[in-house]
Structure 1
Amino acid sequence: MKRLTIMIILLSLLLTMLIQPVSAANYGGVPQSEARTAPQTFVTNFSDHSMKGLFSTTEQTFWIAKDWDVESVLLHLEYRATQLADTQLSSLTVAINETYFYSLRPADNSGNRHGIDIYVPLESLQQGYNNIRIDGYMRTQNALPCVDDVSEANWLDIFKESNLSVRFDKNAFTTSIDSFYNRFFEVDALRYGESAFVISDADNPAELNAALLGISGVSNQTIYPDGYFPILTFSDPAANLPLNRIVIAGYDQLPDNYRSQADQNGINDEDALLVLINEGSGTNTLIITAKNDVALINAGRMLGNPALMNQLQSTTKLLGKTEDIKTPVYEAETYISFAGSEGTYYKGPFHQVKEFAINYPSNRSLSNASEFYLNYRYSENLDFDRSLMTVYINDIPVGSRKLSQHMAGGDEATIPIPTDIDIGGSFQVKVTFDLEIKDLWCSLRQGDMPWAYLTPSTMLKINSVASQDLIFENYPAPFVTDYSYNAVSLVVPDQLDGETANLLAKMFRVMGRYTKGNTGEIAVLYPEEMNEAALYANIIAVGTYANNSFIKSNNDKLYFQLSEDGSSFLSNEKLVIDPAYGKTLGSAQLLDSLYSKPGRASLMVVAPDQTGLVAIGNNLGEMKNLGRLSGDAALADANGKVLTYRFKAPKNPTIAVAQQIAVSQEAQIFLVVSIMVLILLAVGLVMVVRKNGIEIRKGGWRK
């Protein structure tokens, strides 16, 4: 009987193992612990896309994080095909990272929307970016050979409701500072609010300063723009909710349990200490503390040095006060390679598109002598009368080049960028190939499919000028210039409330995405702490008339001023404001230096109460809304309405022209040569005069 029972148990265990789902794919390269998080799903949405032509393609990228154990990836595709589609010949084919894995016929040609769910094979996934490619072949009914190729009736719409759902789990706990650091700003932690900064309730500006440096430092490493890192306090019940917490507090302000951790790990009077602890229930906390403000701020700055943070493979770090933690200073590039280290491959006939994001400082715009250099090759079986390559900037065509058979093995093009394209900050480049083949529909055998390839040496040469206008189109300049904070003094209320802290967290999350590394200076001040250095800085003031006396004392300098009691915005020459409506508004105003310091500016983020601060914060603190702000003054209400105005006159354009000449290499050479010629002529003239004994006397030249 016992033997039978044992056999039944063994068989049950074996059966359980056999019916278990396939083990999740581990892309982290690190053995996973048995303590797991609950499964999560990260969704990446498509945008609406219209696929036109006999052959067409659309692509969507999605992200696989380092510490995700992926259980499944589901592609939900919503599409609508032309009513003329021949459903027996037309098809859709799906590839993951250039590997085809699924094909289907359009459901019907009724013109209705259809949806289908397709599981993506896990073995084709890779850590980091993954690419879904959808190839369409839309043949219409009763189409004539050689005519259907160019028909406008060949179309297929992919809708924005299409998405990719990645289901995953991960380790409940991290075992080193570097693993926690990367998890803290991962896409799922940001989107689902799993990460936050926590400071004390002591209103210590050094803690806020360190937290804002930390937010900026991790923000410039994030993949997607959505989400932010809240700044919470110990007394806030919400501080216990995030699974990943960075606690930044002076030693004396730490709760007893955190202070004992600091004592156990050898904190001293001079240095900062980082300690990672696991608090149960999947909560990881990195404690950053010091007994002096300078060390604390320095530790916050270190969060913006990923190369250094990824070396911290233990749970503690004692940061010496003389330890160098700054990253290199990044400057605006002149030459930017954008085709990737392995180049970019185009496959298939007709119109093929690849898009590239170019990150560039927000305070700079393109000037004269900027150009594309493209190096490429393509197949030799093209119709070279109709095949070409075209370059776009932000969907504006810049130039095209015809493809030719004798250059197919190695072609190149230099395309100047027209000066009428107004670009400031980051922008998008699109390179398209129209790969036409003679009698494609007529030929029974295609031979090699047409292809094109952009080599890694493809690049963009940028000459740029620093923007002169103090307007939101150039924001966050001048507070961020050439990827660094530009001597910023942040003036905050004496008592930091939750709404203001939330606004600051959002603002510096956005500003941080325009930085690289951790250079530049931020100083957090109370109104009464305005010193000589602060007067010469770029000033950002945040708060209400009641809680920030700096705003109150400079109310008369605002474009949109507050009433005497600070309860409402007043009308001005640009806008008549109803007093009741004025109470609901928040405002962001870009002013020249309040202390007449050359090259400096002030950003006043002002509201009668917290409702208005939240309203304007939803625009300054979200990348998707930042583009709604223009001019030098913006008003926002609680319903999401934004009003923008310009009060300052545009800067003198001759200044920009002079700067363009200064940065143009061709102009520099011309000026140097011209000056040398003038010098030679002057020297020659002097020598001729002396040789011939000529001198100037009253009445003219005399010998």
Structure 2
Amino acid sequence: MEKGILNERNNAMRKTVHKVISILCCILMFITTQAHTALATADISPISVNTGTENIEDTEEMSSKEEAYEQILESDPYEATKPNTVKPEIPDTTYQNYFSFDSSRVLKGIFSSTSFYFSIPKYWDTRFVYTVIEYNTSKLITEEVPASLTFMVNNTPVYSCNVSYQEGRTQLVYVTIPIELLKEGYNVLEAVSYVRMYDTEGCTEDQSWSSWINISEDSYVYAGYELIEDNNQISFFPYPFVSTVNPTGEGTAILVSDQSDNSEIAAAMYLMAGMSSHTSEENKISVGLYKDAQANKAKNRIVISLTENLPEELRLLLNDEKVSLSDLSNRVMVKRVKDERQNAMLLIVSDQKENLMEAVHMLLDEERLSQEKISTAYVKANSASLAAEAKELNQLIVGNYKIKDLIGSGITYIGPFHHEEILYLPFGKDYVLSSAGKISLKFRYSENLDFNRSLITVYWGDVPIASKKLLKEYAAGDELTFTMPADVVGTSATSIKIAFDLEIRDLFCTMRDDRMPWAYVTEDSVLYLPSKELTKLSFQHFPSPYQIGGTLSDVMLITSDEPDSRELDLLGKVVALCGENTKAYGDLKVIRANEFTEADSNYNIITVGTSTDNHFLKSINDQLYFAYNESGNAFLSNSTLILSDHYAKEIATFQLLKSPFASQRAILAVGGTGEDTLEQAKLLLASKKERAGLKGDCVLLDSDLELKTFEFMIEEDGNNRPSIGEFVKENKQPVVFTVMAIAAMGMLLLAAVLILLRARSHDKKEDKSE
């Protein structure tokens, strides 16, 4: 009997073990499948924390916009006033500014809208704002088929008028924008059209898309303002050094001490790159030595210096300001003051060389800069690396953007028919779409749609790349996830357009009491748009490879042994070209020509000057497409172009080369035969219009600023398989998930083995007891 009981226990244990093993196998299969899926789809959803309040503002915004749209659709275009064609009376202001429309906008169909963004800087005391809209309409919009244009500012209607076709005429309307509706930073001006097309049965839908209102690109917003006293607050930077009052930065100089330490030059050059993105058609910010500031007619000065190199007059100025220079070993001081002429001055001072760049990164990081509402700030050592790591955690994969990152909120669509919203992408000229690109949109929409005709469409620029039909069962939560089509891989775009067609059954031109149709794309929708690494060096793809993902990437500046202000100013203009629209936390270092060694050359190099003054430039002479002659006073001909003796002595060259010191690296050499030719190069680089002529990988510039462009480099096959490091970098989340899954599998297998061993041991004991 005891033996039977023991057998029953053994059988029960075996069954239990088998069940446990079966469960473990199921779990293992699930984990394996999820890991495989993660690798296959490269999940692009960023980590987020649900606070329970993230949709409150979005709901309020949608409600406000919905109410405005309902008001428009309940109105009668017949009763709208005639367009105001008289310029509004405005107060006299010291300063004015135009915001031009970037392109024409077409409003099609019965109900349509378009948006334009303009910015109100922090330092403006705005006195008036109005917009001038130039438009024309299709012939279908007449007195018998009335239409209205309504203008909204930040979701609040401010003006409405009727419009109609006038043959051969571009029409005009002035709209005054109430100051109280404006906010610091970006503001949205929205134009909404409503056309009442109907017959005895309702809307003549077959003609609705033939009705349109075209808003010309010559339309603009005009503002008048005075300047707010900034009280030397650092948070106003780059004002007053570059501003809407001084868009070129003329009279602003970034200066280093007369000892010109490499660390001082590096910080000055990175700051020059960041500030240049705020300049307009010309960049007149200069870079040089402190002693040459007056000679260069510098008015507003930014001085970057090690404490030991700080000019005595600035020490006295800081002492008068009661600022201590005694403890700058583990931090850097950033100080806004006014000099003896009451001009603006910004001082960046530290004992340690590496700390100077810390201040520059803080000034170029808007989130950190906005906190410095004081005139003296101290930036701790290593704060840049901590801030960069925090940004990387918030954006786990390079090129991973949430919609909130781009426009500050989700996207709301309200009203029937076709709606489009454009997301402008924060890409530089170096951007080219990688094949790993994916988009994941989360959205919801109303349930009163005609689901046979309603859909969402996504465009890369103006190229449609994906669409999906809307379904009633997914109205509360839908998703569209797709990889970027092959035909757009390797191309660039400045925007992505997300369009909804919200169709309603039996919609009459005069809206019934039905609830307004709507759609909403959530702010945590993700655009994973990594950049493809370019294998060909070209000024058309510039600033790649010197800038990647919006930051300077492994850049080394090689100066002459004793750089002067002229050389530094030219080098600053070249760095501004390479660092166009650059962000904080990139990598830039400076060395002298006599310090260069091939052992420390795994960088993208920039060098300027003449072969007689810059020994590094002379050392790579045999690598140049157009080399110098032995005396360095002229360039030599090559198999592509024969240079005349006169021409060869009066040109500057821009030569983009493969680095002979490291693979996948470049050298940009801007050379001349003397000061006059180098000045020609600087004039070209300072002008946005002129530098647009840089093409190919080699450019010759003569004294009349005429260009000859060449392409010497043969394009390489860019379809190389990524390295392990590149794969991990582009697929951090799935790789981490896979590692975790493998670890979990191992632990579960170990647990199963231990259970089996224990069961077997128990069986042996039972056998012995028998």
> If the TM-score is normalised by the length of the shorter chain, which range does it land in?
0.7 to 0.9
The answer to which structure has the higher helix fraction is 2
2:148–2:194 contact (8 Å) kept in structure 1: yes
Q: Secondary structure at the match of 2:557?
A: strand
Question: Whole-Å Cα distance in 1 between the matches of residues 504 and 477 of structure 2?
Answer: 19
1:488–1:538 contact (8 Å) kept in structure 2: yes
1:107–1:114 contact (8 Å) kept in structure 2: no
Question: Residue 218 of structure 2 aligns with which residue?
Answer: 161
Question: Whole-Å Cα distance in 2 between the matches of residues 667 and 179 of structure 1?
Answer: 41
| Higher mean displacement: 347-356 or 233-242 | 233-242
Amino acid at match of 2:453: R
Is 1:96 the counterpart of 2:153? The answer is yes
Question: Residue 266 of structure 1 aligns with which residue?
Answer: 324
Question: Whole-Å Cα distance in 2 between the matches of residues 656 and 611 of structure 1?
Answer: 47
1:225–1:623 contact (8 Å) kept in structure 2: yes
Is 1:604 the counterpart of 2:663? The answer is no
Question: Residue 698 of structure 2 aligns with which residue?
Answer: 633
Question: Residue 491 of structure 1 aligns with which residue?
Answer: 558
Which residue among 300, 303, 326 is the counterpart of 1:247?
Answer: 303
Q: Secondary structure at the match of 1:655?
A: coil
Amino acid at match of 1:453: Y
Q: Deviations over 1:588-624 (max 9, x none)?
A: 3222223x33343211122445665566557766777
Question: Residue 592 of structure 1 aligns with which residue?
Answer: 658
Question: Residue 601 of structure 2 aligns with which residue?
Answer: 535
Q: Residues 325 and 338 from structure 1, CA distance in 2 versus in 1: closer, same or farther, beyond 3 angstroms?
A: closer
| Higher mean displacement: 342-351 or 643-652 | 643-652
Amino acid at match of 1:345: T
Which residue among 536, 556, 559 is the counterpart of 2:625?
Answer: 559
Is 1:391 the counterpart of 2:455? The answer is no
Q: Deviations over 1:636-689 (max 9, x none)?
A: 5676765544333333445246678775699989x99xx9xxxxxxxxxxxxxx
1:468–1:656 contact (8 Å) kept in structure 2: no
1:217–1:301 contact (8 Å) kept in structure 2: no
Which residue among 398, 402, 415 is the counterpart of 1:337?
Answer: 402
Which residue among 337, 350, 365 is the counterpart of 1:277?
Answer: 337
In the TM superposition, what is the alpha-carbon distance from 1:71 to its structure 2 partner? 0.9
Q: Secondary structure at the match of 1:261?
A: helix
Question: Residue 100 of structure 2 aligns with which residue?
Answer: 45
Which residue among 512, 533, 544 is the counterpart of 1:445?
Answer: 512
Q: Deviations over 1:5-64 (max 9, x none)?
A: xxxxxxxxxxxxxxxxx999xxxxxxxxxxxx9832232111231414234433210111
In the TM superposition, what is the alpha-carbon distance from 1:193 to its structure 2 partner? 4.2
2:362–2:584 contact (8 Å) kept in structure 1: no
In the TM superposition, what is the alpha-carbon distance from 1:96 to its structure 2 partner? 0.5
Q: Residues 610 and 480 from structure 1, CA distance in 2 versus in 1: closer, same or farther, beyond 3 angstroms?
A: same
Question: Residue 550 of structure 1 aligns with which residue?
Answer: 616
2:253–2:301 contact (8 Å) kept in structure 1: yes
Question: Whole-Å Cα distance in 2 between the matches of residues 448 and 497 of structure 1?
Answer: 70
Instruction: Give unpaired runs (5+ residues) of structure 1.
Output: 1-21, 25-36, 676-703
Question: Whole-Å Cα distance in 2 between the matches of residues 651 and 482 of structure 1?
Answer: 22
Question: Whole-Å Cα distance in 1 between the matches of residues 200 and 294 of structure 2?
Answer: 67
In the TM superposition, what is the alpha-carbon distance from 1:139 to its structure 2 partner? 6.7
Question: Residue 266 of structure 2 aligns with which residue?
Answer: 209
Question: Whole-Å Cα distance in 2 between the matches of residues 422 and 413 of structure 1?
Answer: 19
Question: Residue 585 of structure 2 aligns with which residue?
Answer: 518
2:248–2:279 contact (8 Å) kept in structure 1: no
Instruction: Give unpaired runs (5+ residues) of structure 2.
Output: 1-88, 743-770
Question: Whole-Å Cα distance in 2 between the matches of residues 185 and 376 of structure 1?
Answer: 41
2:103–2:217 contact (8 Å) kept in structure 1: yes
Question: Residue 347 of structure 2 aligns with which residue?
Answer: 287
CA-based RMSD: 4.5
1:213–1:522 contact (8 Å) kept in structure 2: no
In the TM superposition, what is the alpha-carbon distance from 1:128 to its structure 2 partner? 1.1
Q: Secondary structure at the match of 1:597?
A: coil
Question: Whole-Å Cα distance in 2 between the matches of residues 493 and 427 of structure 1?
Answer: 38
1:489–1:522 contact (8 Å) kept in structure 2: yes
In the TM superposition, what is the alpha-carbon distance from 1:261 to its structure 2 partner? 1.8
Question: Whole-Å Cα distance in 2 between the matches of residues 325 and 367 of structure 1?
Answer: 28
Q: Secondary structure at the match of 2:264?
A: helix
The answer to which structure has the higher strand fraction is 1
Aligned residues: 636
Question: Residue 16 of structure 1 aligns with which residue?
Answer: none
| Higher mean displacement: 658-667 or 470-479 | 658-667
Larger RCO: 1 or 2 (CA < 8 Å, sep 6+): 2
In the TM superposition, what is the alpha-carbon distance from 1:334 to its structure 2 partner? 6.1
Q: Deviations over 1:522-542 (max 9, x none)?
A: 11x333332456534332111
| Higher mean displacement: 255-264 or 617-626 | 617-626
Q: Residues 396 and 559 from structure 1, CA distance in 2 versus in 1: closer, same or farther, beyond 3 angstroms?
A: farther
TM-score, normalised by the number of residues in structure 1 = 0.76
1:180–1:284 contact (8 Å) kept in structure 2: no
Q: Residues 302 and 415 from structure 1, CA distance in 2 versus in 1: closer, same or farther, beyond 3 angstroms?
A: closer
Q: Secondary structure at the match of 2:488?
A: coil
Which residue among 286, 289, 292 is the counterpart of 1:235?
Answer: 292
Q: Deviations over 1:481-513 (max 9, x none)?
A: 455444432123456566654443344345445
In the TM superposition, what is the alpha-carbon distance from 1:189 to its structure 2 partner? 5.1
2:438–2:527 contact (8 Å) kept in structure 1: yes
1:508–1:621 contact (8 Å) kept in structure 2: no
2:553–2:586 contact (8 Å) kept in structure 1: no
Q: Secondary structure at the match of 2:424?
A: strand
1:199–1:208 contact (8 Å) kept in structure 2: yes
Question: Whole-Å Cα distance in 1 between the matches of residues 430 and 113 of structure 2?
Answer: 36
In the TM superposition, what is the alpha-carbon distance from 1:583 to its structure 2 partner? 5.7
Q: Residues 570 and 210 from structure 1, CA distance in 2 versus in 1: closer, same or farther, beyond 3 angstroms?
A: same
Question: Residue 17 of structure 1 aligns with which residue?
Answer: none
In the TM superposition, what is the alpha-carbon distance from 1:207 to its structure 2 partner? 3.4
Amino acid at match of 1:74: Y
2:654–2:669 contact (8 Å) kept in structure 1: yes
Percent identity over paired residues: 28
In the TM superposition, what is the alpha-carbon distance from 1:338 to its structure 2 partner? 1.8
Q: Residues 251 and 342 from structure 1, CA distance in 2 versus in 1: closer, same or farther, beyond 3 angstroms?
A: closer
| Higher mean displacement: 296-305 or 410-419 | 296-305
Question: Whole-Å Cα distance in 2 between the matches of residues 278 and 98 of structure 1?
Answer: 41
Which residue among 152, 162, 172 is the counterpart of 1:115?
Answer: 172
TM-score, normalised by the number of residues in structure 2 = 0.70
Question: Residue 137 of structure 2 aligns with which residue?
Answer: 81
Question: Whole-Å Cα distance in 1 between the matches of residues 281 and 200 of structure 2?
Answer: 45
Question: Whole-Å Cα distance in 1 between the matches of residues 704 and 492 of structure 2?
Answer: 29
Question: Residue 545 of structure 2 aligns with which residue?
Answer: 478
Question: Whole-Å Cα distance in 1 between the matches of residues 314 and 568 of structure 2?
Answer: 23
In the TM superposition, what is the alpha-carbon distance from 1:130 to its structure 2 partner? 0.2
1:489–1:534 contact (8 Å) kept in structure 2: no
Q: Deviations over 1:396-421 (max 9, x none)?
A: 22111122344333322122211332
Question: Whole-Å Cα distance in 2 between the matches of residues 491 and 601 of structure 1?
Answer: 13
Amino acid at match of 1:351: H
1:362–1:481 contact (8 Å) kept in structure 2: no
